[in-house]
Amino acid sequence: MDMPLNTGVARYTETRRHELRKTRMVMIDGQLAINSRSSEGGVSARVYDGGYWGFASAPDGVPAELERQALRNAQAMGRFGARPALALPGGSYRGEHRFHGKPALSAQDCADRLAALHDFCQRQYPGLKSTRFLLQDEHHSKGLVTSLGGDSLASIQRAMCYVTLIAEDEHGAPVELVEVLSGKGSLADLDLSVATLAPLLDELHGHLQAKRQAVPASGGLHTVVMAPALAGMLAHEAMGHPCEADIVLGGAITGDLLGQRVASDKVSMVDFANSFQGRETMIPVYADDEGTPARDAVLIDKGMLSSFMSSRETAARLGLVPSGSARAYAPGDEPLVRMRNTAILPGTDALAEMIAGVDEGYLLMKTGNGQADSTTEFMFGISLAYEIRKGRLGRAIRDTTVSGSAIKVLQSVDAVSDDMVWNCSGYCGKKQLMVVSMGGPALRAQAQIGGE
C-alpha cells in the first residue's frame, strides 16, 4: 500500500483500501425468490488540517492523488472560518487480523439447506400457512495506513439466518414469528442442518401456536422481565447511542451525567472492542478505521455513567482517551463513532427465579424493531411476550410495545440473570449502515407496556 504524502501541512492523514462482499438468499414457501452476490471496493483518503477534515474516495484511486484531493477539501472547509487545530490523540496500530473459517458455500449448497429446512417445516407443522428463510453474510477487508505510523489489515465477517413461520389465528388473521441465528464467519460457519435446528424450530412453532390464542396486554407501567434479546436492544439503541461521543457533543442528555447514577448498581454496560471473557467477539475490532488501537469502553460501571465511545477528534474535544470506535461501513464512507459489541454484563440471578418473583407483569421475549433518541427515551415493538401471574407464565399476548426512559428503566432494575446471549444479526443505521453485535442477560425492571 502506498504511504501517505508528507505534505508538511496535514496534521493527520489516513488512507484505506476497503473491500465489501455480500451474499443474500431468500426462500419463500420452498421457492427461491432472491439469490444475489455483490462486491464493491475502493480507496479513500482523509486529512485533518487546520481544524477541518477533508475526505476523498474512488473505486480504484491512487492514494497519493486522493490525499491531495482530501487536503484540498479540508482547506476548502477552512473558508467557513478559523477553527482550533486539535492535537489528535490515539497513537498507532500495526498488525493483521483475519478470520479463518470454513470454505464458502456455493449458491446451490445454500439453496439445498433452505429447501431441507422448508421441507422439514412442511412435514412437521402441517398447519403453517407460509415459511420464509433469509440467508445473508458479508465480509469486510480493510487495509489502513496512517501518518502516525499505523499499518493494519482488519477482517470482519458475519453471517445470519432469519426463519419466519406464519400461521393464522381463529379469525383468519396472519400471525408470525421470527427466529434469528447469527455468528462470526460466512454462511458455511453457521450450522444450518435440520438436525441442529429442529429443536429451535419446534420451540418457535410452539410459541407461534400460543400466539394464535394471544390476548391483549394491559397498558401502563408494569414489572417486566426482558429476555436477553431485549436487554441487548436496550443497551444498543437506548443507552449506546447517547454514549457515542459525537452525539454527546451534539447535546445528548448523557453529556451532563458523567460520574452520576444512571442505572441500579446491578447494571454494568460495556462496548467491547474485540474480546469478552477470553473469547473473540462477533465483531472484533483491534484497530478502528482511523488506525487507533481499540480498547473496551466501560459505559456504565455498577450503575454509574463512566465513559463514552470516541474517535480521535471527539476524544480530544472531550478530554478522553480514544476508544477506537471510528468505523466506516462501505468503501466510500467516512469513519463515524460507532458501536462494536455492546452489552449489559450478566448478574447472579436465575431467570426462573426472576419470573417467580413477579406477582403480575410480563415476560418480553422478542422484539422486531425499536427506536430511541438522545434523551434515552425509547419504544420497541414486542412480537412475543407472555403474562406473568403469581410467579407463573400465563397466556401469550398480542404484538405490543415497551417504552420509557432507558435511564429510568435501568434505575429500576432489581434482578439481572446469570446467562449471556449475543447476536450480530442486525445493522445500526446511524447515517450509514454498520455491522454490530449486542448482548445481555435478562433484566427485571419497570417499563410502560402498550395495550388496552
Q: Give the pLDDT confidence of 108-145 residue by residue, as tens digits.
A: 999 999 999 999 999 999 999 999 999 999 999 999 99
Alpha carbons within 13 angstroms on the beta-carbon side of residue 143 total 9
> Taking the CB of residue 421, how many other CB atoms lie within 10 A of it?
17
Q: Is the pLDDT of residue 255 over 90?
A: yes
Domain 12-212: give its CATH architecture.
Answer: 2-Layer Sandwich (3.30)
Residue 396 CA to residue 2 CA, distance in Å, equals 60
Q: Identify the pLDDT of residue 3.
A: 30
User: What would the mean pLDDT of 316-341 be, rounded to a whole number?
Assistant: 97
The band of 452, judged by pLDDT with boundaries at 50, 70 and 90, is: confident
In the numeric block, the cell 422448508 is attached to 118
Residue 59 CA to residue 260 CA, distance in Å, equals 46
Q: Identify the pLDDT of residue 8.
A: 34
**Percentage, residues of the chain above pLDDT 90:** 93
The band of 9, judged by pLDDT with boundaries at 50, 70 and 90, is: very low
pLDDT, averaged across the chain: 94
Residue 427 CA to residue 113 CA, distance in Å, equals 25
Q: Identify the pLDDT of residue 170.
A: 87
Residue 251 CA to residue 205 CA, distance in Å, equals 45
Quick one: how many helices (H) and strands (E) in the chain? Answer: 8, 26
Of 189 and 426, which is predicted with more confidence? 189
Provide the residue ranges of all domains of the chain, joining segments of one domain with +: 12-212, 220-449
Q: Is the pLDDT of residue 260 over 80?
A: yes
pTM of the complete model: 0.94
Q: Identify the pLDDT of residue 2.
A: 31
Tell me the pLDDT tens digit for each residue of 49-69. Answer: 999 999 999 999 899 999 999
- Report residue 435 as a C-alpha cell: 455491522
Q: Is 401 helix (H, G, I), strand (E, B) or coil?
A: strand
Strands 151-168 and 336-337: unpaired
User: What would the mean pLDDT of 332-358 be, rounded to a whole number?
Assistant: 97
- Cβ atoms of 300 and 268 within 8 Å: the answer is yes
User: What would the mean pLDDT of 135-164 be, rounded to a whole number?
Assistant: 96
User: What would the mean pLDDT of 164-186 be, rounded to a whole number?
Assistant: 95
Q: Identify the pLDDT of residue 209.
A: 97
- Cβ atoms of 308 and 248 within 8 Å: the answer is yes
Strands 360-372 and 220-226: parallel
Residue 174 CA to residue 127 CA, distance in Å, equals 12
Q: Identify the pLDDT of residue 1.
A: 30
Q: Is the pLDDT of residue 451 over 90?
A: no
User: What would the mean pLDDT of 196-222 be, rounded to a whole number?
Assistant: 97
Q: Is 382 helix (H, G, I), strand (E, B) or coil?
A: strand
